[in-house]
Amino acid sequence: MTQLLFFNVFNGLIVGAFYALMALGLSLILNLSGVINFAHGGFLAIGGYLAYSLIPYIGFWGALVLAPVLTAFIGILVERVLIRRLYGRDPLYSLLLTFGLAFIIEDGTRFIWGAQSLPFQVPSWLVTPLSDDYFFLTGYRLFMVLVVGIAVAGLFFILNRTRLGIRIRAGTLDLETVSVLGVNVRLLRNMNFGLGIYLAGLAGVLAVGQLGLQPTIGASLIMPSFVAIIVGGLGSLPGTLLGGMLIGVASGITTVFFPSATEAVIYVMMAAVLLVRPRGLLGEEGRF
């Protein structure tokens, strides 16, 4: 029992790390541009599929580095051509646009790579369990947690220590002033979008090693990411991180005691948070 619980809590942490990685990207875009990117799951899938196609040529490690970057470039392109036109308009329109994009990407990946689940090879030395008792502690899982940790640390480093990050944070608070101070806001939003999509692509490469590769992988991960943002608090990136981990662990624990509620439990958590603290756990008051 303890082992089962431990297994599921650990599993929940991994899943939560994915949610958090995805939700952080969503949050970045939402905070600076006011766009809920429904297509985020689609970009995650693109990351995974690109990695799949790249592995035969440059191996797993090369793909881990290159696939998210390529995904980010696609994201930057999409922002330039489509999403940019909708800034400043009713958020309804960007919602619908990214919604349509999600359809196109899902169907497009199905068209290119096929509807069936594809095998995804991770290096064999990562797959073997580290311990007989704790069979689920494979190297790959620890590795995923490590990569997510590095990515999150890198993100907060960028946001706190680099010029780009400081501008992003300033723009989140008051875009007009940032613009008046001479920052190219269009470029800033563009880069910020790319950064968010990079995180989605990275989550994609990691997730397919764990969850398998199929066109619907993005659609199944996007809703929990929304919940992570809401639970953690809109406008707060540490909150989003916390929210993702919390809902991951909560659904892990629920798997042990009441498996059929595994998915539903996170929405119950969201309802509870909204009831007690509508702005979310670490959300700022009065922002939304």
Partner 1 sequence: MQPADFTKQAPNIVVWALLLTMPFWLSHVGGYTELGSQVVVLGLAALGLNFLLGYTGVLSFGHAAYFGLGAYGAGMTLRYLLPSTGMGIIIGTLIGTIAGAIIGPLIIRLRGVYFAMVTIAFGQVFYFIAFRWSSVTGGDDGLTGWTRLPLHLGFTTIDIQNNPVAFYYFVLVMFAIAVGIMAWLLRSPFGRTLIAIRENERRSRFLGIPIDQHIWISWVISCAVVSLAGALFALLNNFVDPRALYWTQSGDFVIMAVLGGMRSFWGPLIGAAIYVVLRDYLSSMTENWESFIGLFFVLVVLFFPRGVLGIITRKVKS
Q: Which of 36/144 has CB closer to partner 1?
A: 36
- Using CA atoms, how far apart are residues 114 and 42, in angstroms rounded to an integer? 15
Reading phi first (left if > 0) and then psi (alpha if -120 to 50, else beta), residue 237 is in: alpha
Contact pick of 5, 108, 169, 216 for partner 1 (by CB under 8 A): 108
Q: In angstroms, rounded to a whole number, what is the distance separating the alpha carbons of residues 38 and 103?
A: 10
Binds partner 1 (CB under 8 A): choice among 85, 123, 150, 157: 85
How remote is the C-alpha of 22 from its chain's centroid? Answer: 1
Among 59, 61, 62, 100, binds partner 1 (CB under 8 A): 100
CB of 286 to partner 1, least distance (A): 11
- We find the least distance from the C-beta atom of residue 97 to partner 1, in angstroms, to be 4
Is residue 43 at the binding interface for partner 1, with CB under 8 A as the rule? no
Residue 199 corresponds to which tokens in the numbers above? 């995180």
Q: Fill in the amino acid letter for 110.
A: R
Minimal distance, residue 274 CB to partner 1, in Å: 5
Closer to partner 1 by Cβ: residue 66 or 82: 82
Residue of the chain from 61, 62, 77, 91 that contacts partner 1 (CB under 8 A): 91
Q: Which of 28, 122, 203, 230 binds partner 1 (CB under 8 A)?
A: 230
Is residue 238 at the binding interface for partner 1, with CB under 8 A as the rule?
no
Residues 192-221 that bind partner 1 (CB under 8 A): none
Q: Nearest approach, Cβ of 36 to partner 1 (angstroms)?
A: 6
Q: Pick from 103, 134, 135, 157: which binds partner 1 (CB under 8 A)?
A: 103
Q: CA 107, CA 74: separation in Å to the nearest integer?
A: 16
Cβ 69 to partner 1, closest distance in Å?
25
Write out the residues near partner 1 by the rule CB under 8 A: 30, 34, 36, 38, 82, 85-86, 89-97, 99-108, 111, 223, 226-227, 229-230, 234, 260-261, 263-264, 267-268, 270-271, 274-275, 278, 288
